[in-house]
Amino acid sequence: MQRWPVLLFLAWVCFLFVAGIGLFMSGFLLTRIELAHSSSCSDPLTPPPWDRQSLPPGSCWMPQRFSKAVLVIIDALRFEFAWFNPANVSPLPYENKLSFLHHLATSQPRHARLYRFRADPPTATMQRIKGLTTGSLPTFIDVGSNFATYAIQEDNLLAQLVQNGRKVVFMGDDTWEGLFPKKFFRSYFFPSFNVKDLHTVDDGILQHLYPTVDGGEWDLLIAHFLGVDHCGHKHGPDHPEMAKKLTQMNEMLRSLVDHLGNDTLLLVAGDHGMTETGDHGGDSEKEVNAALFVYSKTPLFGTGPPEEPEAIPQVNLVPTVALLLGVPIPYSNIGEVMAELFPGDGDALSAALQQLSVYHVNAKQVDRFLHSYSLVAQDLPAEQLQHLQEIFAAAVEEHVQLLAQMQEAVLVFPELESRLGNLISRFQLYLREARAVCTQTWARFHPLRMVAGCTLIAASCLLCYVTSELATASDSFYRSCLLYPLLWGLVVAVLLGLACTFIQEGLDLLLVSSWAAAVSQVAFFWRWWGRQPKRARVASSQPPLAAIGLRQWLRAWLGLAFPVGILLFRCGAMFSDSFVVAEARVAPFLLASLVVLLVGKLHWDGRLTVPEGPKQQLLGFSSYRKESWYLLYLVAVLLVCVRLSIFFHQCREEIPQCRPSLFIAPLASLRNTRAKNLFYLLCVASLVGLVFVVRCWLRHYGNLNSSDPLVLFVRWGFPLVVICIACYWAVASSAEDSLGKLQELVQVALVAFPWAVYGLVSVGLLLLLCNPMTVFAKDTRESAGPIVTPYLGVPSSEVDFLHVIPQIYRRMQESLKSRLERGSCKATVAAYGLGSVYSAALVIALTLLGFLLLLLHSERLSLAFLLLFLEAFVLLHIHTRARSLAGDAEPFSVPWHAVISWLLAASQFFYSTGHQPIFPAIHWNAAFVGFHLDHSTNLLPAVLVGANTFASHILFAVGCPLLLLWPFVCESPSLQRRKPKKEAQEELQEEEEHMMEMRLRESPERFSAALLQLGLKYLFILGMQLLACVCAAMILRRHLMVWKVFAPKFLFEALGFVVSSICLLLGISLVMRVDCAVSTWFSQLRLSPCL
């Protein structure tokens, strides 16, 4: 059997796809160029000389209004949390808790005000901190770097303060540490990553807050509280814990205000809101709608508060705070000052004048930024910049004119006021339009790379299809077609690498690899084309055959019409945002349709009915065969599975009437103890059921008889794993407070049990790799009985169970026979479980992986996993039955519909394990299974979260070779049952009936070709789905929904592809490992002395 060429070929195809994905991604995902400039006091942005005279020393750009400021960031402080409604008599847990803010706003209306604070998406904390300090719009790609925060390179508020000799003190979320290294005069960081920990950060801040405030050694004090956000992630907003947390914040603010001086500005802000489930990251109303509260002990506002709280964009805070504290506005700011905070000396005219100068400075700064940005990058559309420039120039001219007229005192009050108001609104318009232009166009695509990436993926799909058609036709094809392309690709890669080092340019790994991929692909197609004419000639030498060939080809295509049609529907659905949103329902629908169509077609072809005897022909009646009924039952079970899986769906905010499945929430969030216990028992029962079924299956096929370490592990290790998981669930779901003194023990248990599972699973996988044989050889050489075991029917007793499905490998036996004749001693070996040795290894691996992935999900999703295994089992059986009913002559080729339905099931269970292709739906909690505190590296949490997200992709990809193996596994029992009595006479035939998976070993060349073909088919369909996503993202890149729907979908699909292809390779290598082991086993058997 050729193992390495097959694996190498598949790996090469995966590499082609990955290169295409990388190329496309580099052209598609947004990048905004960060300017290195920074503002300074001496910039010629200062207002005209008329105003300048009043500028006191020590402040720049504008007179300093406050010498100190306290910025309290309460993470995820949604506007509703801060809003106090006295009329609300029965508030929800998160309502009416910040009563102190309301008290301040009503008792001192000119000192305090509440705003709606509109966060820009993406609403992840790091992006919001960047936005809150630079005044710009962090782009989409930054979302992914939430694990590793990088220092902010752009000019920002903190840098300005430090530059101007102010002291910034920070306490709270340690995200800031990475963003602003060495910027703080003093800092108290607390770990932010563990979302289950509600109190560490907040208590730490409270410990230091008041002493620091009283100490007075600061100019800007930032306190970033995380408790509310973590409470949202852990419990959701509608939970008593949230009430406690908000009340704590209220008390904190109350005492903080007591400690403040008169020259201090207090800002309380939420960096973003949260959804109904307590998540954030997207751009739904609830995530975007944060709160901002402004307060000072000196009057802040010239006028009273408006009826409804005003909504202001989050970037507006930066210029406002900068000017109030008397430092320059950061260079890249595109926010607009909050003019009402600049009320002048009290009367309306001075207020208008001050606001005008503030706006003027602000507009000049934005204009300067846009100008220098447009010099560096061409992504802002020129005509819009031109338009903005015109508005700005006109406003400035008007400003100069007005000032001149005022100095000459031409204007009288009412006219002056209206002209001032008019001018202010023109500056406002400029600032708002500039912001809108930036928001709209900070999506810089690289069309050439996108098209190239798309082409590479499409060509790889074509390659997969072509090769999968050829793979069985010629055995050594892939070897000859692999070597040259690989060589060419390597040559190009090396040449490009050399060229890059030669011209001293940075080596762009992405470009080199995509060039290598493209060249190797061209080389492949060249080779393939070179072989084509030969085949054509062979065909044309037999003209009648060619005609038949054409008709057969047509018929084959018609037969493919159903699965291909379903695949086309699936790919077409990627182009509509509604269908992407509804994909959770689309995939099961298509899966059910595909399977029903398959059965319908079998029926139409008359395969399900009893072959017509003369009697039926006479009457025109037909009835079903027994096997057909079995197939129909299987289809019914599948449909029920598919329907049940819908109950595990997570919601997307695009479907407002959707209610998230109650199975997704962890058991700990259940308040009803009885329900909790019931669900707990159900989950444990599903685990036990899974183990029980797997062990039954293994026992049925005789794979549990040997005493190898692996079999022992299956017998004893599996229950142990189940016990560990059950204990972990019990500890994790118990109420936190009820345990009291045992708290520390609980903490240890929370870490120990998952580690026990990790350890056991890795031991199991290692055993599987070392010795994947689950075969029990029973030496009957002394006995003179027949070769075949006395198996005569359904096993009834334990003894019979031991004799289930033994395998006697014919070739081995022949060699034995020849020796036996010489040695004249009757002997044979019955090997139990040899016929399912490949599948058994895969099933064990899948079960182990299943345990691992199940542990990473919340408890009740174990039911979904049970359903997953059941559905995969039923699908395998359906395809086996369908093949045997259709009389498929080609057992080494897996039909397309089987592969498509397998992949449809994979995406169905992506959704049914509580996932959605959007960032807020990622189960971040998975990173803390077995890790109590913060992670030291980013790799491990990424792997855990990735494994959680792509659980179904992993399981189905690893299990993919089962599609090939299952028909062989299932072949024996049915045949056995049919002719159990012929064993005596037809010894040889009986042996053939017991071949099962050993048929694959009979023709190792075809086995490896079949594995290659299966892998290629799998990659082809995965690649088609990916191609559809890529094309959708490329074509619809200016679509309204691109960042909300298509881009996340593409990212998830691309990651899913990578994960699936790796797991597919692993699954196929596992089969090959078993094949190796089987070979050595046979050679050992031959060498053993008695023979």
Partner 1 sequence: MKEAEIKRLLAANLLCVFSIILTTTVPAFFLDSFSVLGTHLTWLCICSVSISALNIVLCLVLRPNPSPKRSSFAHKISRFLKCCIYFFMSCILFHVIVVLYGAPLIESVTETFLFAVLLSTFTTLQCLCMLGPNIQAWIRVFSKNGAMSIWDNSLQITTMCSILGAWFGAFPIPLDWDRPWQVWPISCSLGATFGYMAGLIIAPLWIHWNRKQLTYKSR
623 contacts partner 1 (rule: CB under 8 A): yes
- Contact between residue 1065 and residue 29 where contact means Cβ atoms under 8 Å apart: no
- The number of CA neighbours under 13 Å toward the Cβ of 914 is 25
Choose, by CB under 8 A, the member of 303, 578, 673, 1079 that binds partner 1.
578
* Residue 579 contact, options partner 1, Zn ion, none, Cβ 5-8 Å cut-off depending on partner type: partner 1
* Residue 125 contact, options Zn ion, partner 1, none, Cβ 5-8 Å cut-off depending on partner type: Zn ion
99 contacts partner 1 (rule: CB under 8 A): no
Choose, by CB under 5 A, the member of 12, 72, 75, 190 that binds Zn ion.
75
* Residue 582 contact, options Zn ion, partner 1, none, Cβ 5-8 Å cut-off depending on partner type: partner 1
* Residue 75 contact, options Zn ion, partner 1, none, Cβ 5-8 Å cut-off depending on partner type: Zn ion
Q: Which amino acid is at 910?
A: F
Choose, by CB under 8 A, the member of 95, 120, 577, 991 that binds partner 1.
577
Of 586-594, 695-703, 922-930, 1065-1073, which part binds partner 1 (CB under 8 A)?
586-594
Task: Report, in Å, the least distance between residue 270 CB and Zn ion.
Answer: 8
- When the beta carbons of 504 and 623 are compared against partner 1, the nearer one is 623
- When the beta carbons of 55 and 1041 are compared against partner 1, the nearer one is 1041
Task: Give the span between the Cα atoms of 558 and 566, in whole angstroms.
Answer: 13
Choose, by CB under 8 A, the member of 67, 593, 669, 974 that binds partner 1.
593
- Phi, then psi, of 190 in degrees rounded to 5: -130, 145
Q: DSSP code of 34?
A: P
- When the beta carbons of 356 and 904 are compared against partner 1, the nearer one is 904
Of 545-553, 589-597, 668-676, 1058-1066, which part binds partner 1 (CB under 8 A)?
589-597
Region 629-648 residues binding partner 1, contact defined as CB under 8 A: 639-640, 642-643, 646
Task: Give the span between the Cα atoms of 819 and 841, in whole angstroms.
Answer: 32
DSSP string, 897-932: HHHHHHHHHHHHHHHHTT--SSGGGS-GGGGGTT--
* Residue 576 contact, options partner 1, Zn ion, none, Cβ 5-8 Å cut-off depending on partner type: partner 1
Choose, by CB under 5 A, the member of 120, 197, 241, 271 that binds Zn ion.
271
| CA-to-CA dists, residue 699 to 14, 715, 731, 848, angstroms | 36, 10, 33, 17
Choose, by CB under 8 A, the member of 231, 321, 586, 964 that binds partner 1.
586
- When the beta carbons of 112 and 1045 are compared against partner 1, the nearer one is 1045
890 contacts partner 1 (rule: CB under 8 A): no
Task: Report, in Å, the least distance between residue 578 CB and partner 1.
Answer: 5
- The number of CA neighbours under 13 Å toward the Cβ of 461 is 18
Q: What share of the chain is helix, strand, coil (3-state, %, to 5)?
A: 65, 5, 30
**Helix ranges (DSSP H) in 796-895:** 798-802, 810-823, 837-856, 862-886
| CA-to-CA dists, residue 538 to 312, 544, 971, angstroms | 75, 12, 36
Q: Which amino acid is at 268?
A: V
- Phi, then psi, of 180 in degrees rounded to 5: -130, 70
Choose, by CB under 8 A, the member of 319, 328, 330, 588 that binds partner 1.
588
1003 contacts partner 1 (rule: CB under 8 A): no
- When the beta carbons of 376 and 596 are compared against partner 1, the nearer one is 596
Region 246-265 residues binding partner 1, contact defined as CB under 8 A: none
Of 72-80, 488-496, 813-821, 924-932, which part binds Zn ion (CB under 5 A)?
72-80
Site map 26..65 versus Zn ion, x via CB under 5 A = ----------------------------------------
Of 597-605, 928-936, 1016-1024, 1060-1068, which part binds partner 1 (CB under 8 A)?
597-605
Of 18-26, 74-82, 784-792, 867-875, which part binds Zn ion (CB under 5 A)?
74-82
- Contact between residue 868 and residue 909 where contact means Cβ atoms under 8 Å apart: yes
Task: Answer whether the bond into residue 543 is a cis peptide, omega within 30°.
Answer: no
Task: Report, in Å, the least distance between residue 179 CB and Zn ion.
Answer: 13
- When the beta carbons of 499 and 655 are compared against partner 1, the nearer one is 655
Site map 535..574 versus partner 1, x via CB under 8 A = ----------------------------------------
- When the beta carbons of 591 and 1021 are compared against partner 1, the nearer one is 591
Q: Specify the 3-state DSSP secondary structure of 155.
A: coil
Task: Give the span between the Cα atoms of 572 and 579, in whole angstroms.
Answer: 9
Please, what is the Cα angle at 851 between 850 and 855, to 5 degrees? 115
How would you classify the pairing of strands 186-190 and 168-173?
parallel
- When the beta carbons of 149 and 862 are compared against Zn ion, the nearer one is 149
- When the beta carbons of 621 and 633 are compared against partner 1, the nearer one is 621
Q: DSSP code of 329?
A: P
Specify which residues 72 forms β-bridges with: 223, 268
Choose, by CB under 8 A, the member of 37, 167, 603, 817 that binds partner 1.
603
Task: Give the span between the Cα atoms of 222 and 267, in whole angstroms.
Answer: 10
| CA-to-CA dists, residue 454 to 59, 97, 460, 467, 1038, angstroms | 54, 52, 10, 20, 17
- Contact between residue 641 and residue 870 where contact means Cβ atoms under 8 Å apart: yes
125 contacts Zn ion (rule: CB under 5 A): yes
- When the beta carbons of 610 and 802 are compared against partner 1, the nearer one is 610
Number of residues that bind Zn ion (CB under 5 A): 4
Name the residue with tokens 């100068």.
Answer: 357
Task: Give the span between the Cα atoms of 687 and 863, in whole angstroms.
Answer: 8
- Contact between residue 141 and residue 30 where contact means Cβ atoms under 8 Å apart: yes
- Contact between residue 1000 and residue 961 where contact means Cβ atoms under 8 Å apart: no
Task: Report, in Å, the least distance between residue 621 CB and partner 1.
Answer: 4
Q: Which two tokens stand for residue 620?
A: 């025109």
285 contacts partner 1 (rule: CB under 8 A): no
Site map 648..667 versus partner 1, x via CB under 8 A = ------x-------------
Counted residue by residue, the chain has a size of: 1091
- When the beta carbons of 381 and 606 are compared against partner 1, the nearer one is 606
- When the beta carbons of 534 and 626 are compared against partner 1, the nearer one is 626
User: Which of 1064, 1048, 1060 lies closest to 124 in space, CA to CA?
Assistant: 1048
In sequence order, the 6+-apart residues with CB closer than 8 A to the CB of 698 are: 704, 714, 774, 833, 840, 843, 844
Task: Report, in Å, the least distance between residue 620 CB and partner 1.
Answer: 6
First to last CA, the chain: 26
- When the beta carbons of 45 and 926 are compared against Zn ion, the nearer one is 926
592 contacts partner 1 (rule: CB under 8 A): yes
- When the beta carbons of 51 and 577 are compared against partner 1, the nearer one is 577
Query: Which residue's Cβ has the minimum distance to Zn ion?
Result: 125
User: Which of 826, 1040, 1021, 850 lies closest to 947 in space, CA to CA?
Assistant: 850
Q: Which residues of 322-338 are buried (b: 16+ CB within 10 A; e: fewer)?
A: bbbbbbbbbbbbbbbbb
Of 114-122, 269-277, 468-476, 1067-1075, which part binds Zn ion (CB under 5 A)?
269-277
Task: Report, in Å, the least distance between residue 642 CB and Zn ion.
Answer: 34
- When the beta carbons of 495 and 658 are compared against partner 1, the nearer one is 658
Question: Within the chain, what is the greatest distance between any pair of CA atoms?
Answer: 130
- When the beta carbons of 291 and 523 are compared against Zn ion, the nearer one is 291
Q: Specify the 3-state DSSP secondary structure of 71.
A: strand
Task: Report, in Å, the least distance between residue 27 CB and Zn ion.
Answer: 30
Would you tell me which residues interact with Zn ion (CB under 5 A)?
Answer: 75, 125, 229, 271
Would you tell me which residues interact with partner 1 (CB under 8 A)?
Answer: 576-579, 581-582, 585-586, 588-589, 592-593, 603-606, 609, 617, 620-624, 639-640, 642-643, 646, 654
